Amino acid sequence: MKLDDHRVSRNVEDRRGGSSGGGIKKGGLGGLIRGMSLSRLFMLWPIIAPLLRTKVGWLLIGAGLLAYLSGFNPFGGTAPETTQPTTQEDKTALFVKKVLASTEDTWKEILPKYGIRYKEPTLVLYRGSTVSGCGYANAQMGPFYCPVDQKIYLDLGFYDELAKVHNAEGDFAQAYVLAHEVGHHVQNLLGILPKVQRLQEKALRMGKKVEANHLQIPVELQADCFAGVWAHHAKKYLEKGDIEEGLNAASQIGDDKLQMEAQGYVVPDSFTHGTSKQRMHWFWVGFTKGDLNACNTFKQQ
């Protein structure tokens, strides 16, 4: 995609740089002191007090603070390290922020034509695990949209898995994944998600798990179609081979494909996202039509 000159979305909450162990994050010396117990400060005071009277002493105190912040703990062990994003990951983060901005521009233009005002979702970038409005989130769950807080949760490590495990490489494959989750947000604004969730809850109360699963399939396929609608309206940013990357990504994460790779056979009753063929088909419908009315996946089931 040609997004070099595109703006960056402001609706991004980047949680990737947080400490994994609850260590010092902000606050400087004040935060450091609050992290120590009063008893330990009193133990050190006979040593600290004389040092405060000389320049050399102040230098030693400063060196000690730097050592502590670097990971050395005078009370034993090490201070928890704050994991920093890699350069490549930062490049990917910048790319998805631009893709998100593109979806904002597109849906702000499209939805008013259908009588809906577009409210922008927030993208949460995290590493490993985090907390969402829909509960605990971790990397194994993959990207998802939470209608409770209207946020999209994405561990950028998923893109590595997409490329290396599922053979879906390319920047547009990454864009398709994000556009799919934004598609769920559009469904939420249209009132589709709440309606389906009520039907699923009713099915589960009646012990109809297969029916609840199958109710999710048109939801996911419609999100694929909405991703295609976005791509249709963002054609000026596309490069040769981009749509092929999107179609390939859709085919690689169909329920039948994933189940065959994982266990050597498929169980259609457990499908929740649709087959590879279905996912490719609906992304293509959205891309070629560019119209929400063409994305009635519920009618087609």
Domain span at residue 208 reads 84-300
Nearest to 165 by CA among 270, 273, 253, 280: 253
* 169 phi/psi in degrees, rounded to 5: -90, 165
Mean pLDDT of the chain: 84
Q: From 146, 162, 20, select the one nearest 96 (Cα to Cα).
A: 162
pTM, rounded to two decimals: 0.77
Higher pLDDT, 108 or 68: 108
Do 165 and 68 lie in one domain? The reply is no
pLDDT surpassing 80 at residue 257: yes
Percent of the chain topping pLDDT 70: 77
pLDDT tens column, 85-130: 578 889 999 999 999 999 999 999 999 999 999 999 999 999 999 9
Give per-residue pLDDT as tens, 17-54: 753 333 323 333 333 333 333 334 344 455 556 666 67
d(CA 131, CA 152): 12
72 with 145, same domain? no
| Confidence band, pLDDT 50/70/90 cuts, at residue 82 | very low
The answer as to whether 172 is a domain residue is yes
In a domain, 281, yes or no: yes
Closest CA to 182 of 144, 155, 208: 144
Q: Which pLDDT score, from 0 to 100, does residue 3 have?
A: 93
pLDDT value at residue 39? 38
Q: Looking at the domain assignment, is residue 14 inside a domain?
A: no
| Count of all residues that appear for the chain in the document | 301
Query: What does the alpha-carbon distance between residue 9 and residue 102 come to, in Å, rounded to a whole number?
Result: 8
The pLDDT of residue 64 is 64
Report the candidate in 278, 147, 300, 259 with the shortest Cα–Cα distance to residue 221. Answer: 278
Distances (CA, A) of 249 to 157, 207, 242, 259: 16, 33, 11, 16
Beta bridge partners of 125: 14, 154
* Cβ(177)–Cβ(166) below 8 Å: no
* C-alpha dist (Å) from residue 27 to 23, 24, 82: 11, 8, 14
For residues 133 and 153, the answer to whether their CB atoms sit within 8 Å is: no
Q: Both 60 and 125 in a single domain?
A: no
Domain boundary residue, one of 32, 47, 82: 82
pLDDT at res. 58: 66
Measured CA to CA, the distance from residue 223 to residue 245 in angstroms comes to 17
Both 114 and 248 in a single domain? yes
What are the tens digits of pLDDT across the range 183-220? 999 999 999 999 999 999 999 999 999 999 899 999 99
Q: Tell whether the model's pLDDT for residue 159 goes beyond 80.
A: yes
Which pLDDT score, from 0 to 100, does residue 297 have? 96
Cβ atoms of residues 248 and 168 within 8 Å: yes
Angle ∠(36,37,40) on CA atoms, nearest 5:
90
- How many structural domains is the chain composed of? 2
Q: Do the domain assignments include residue 2? A: no
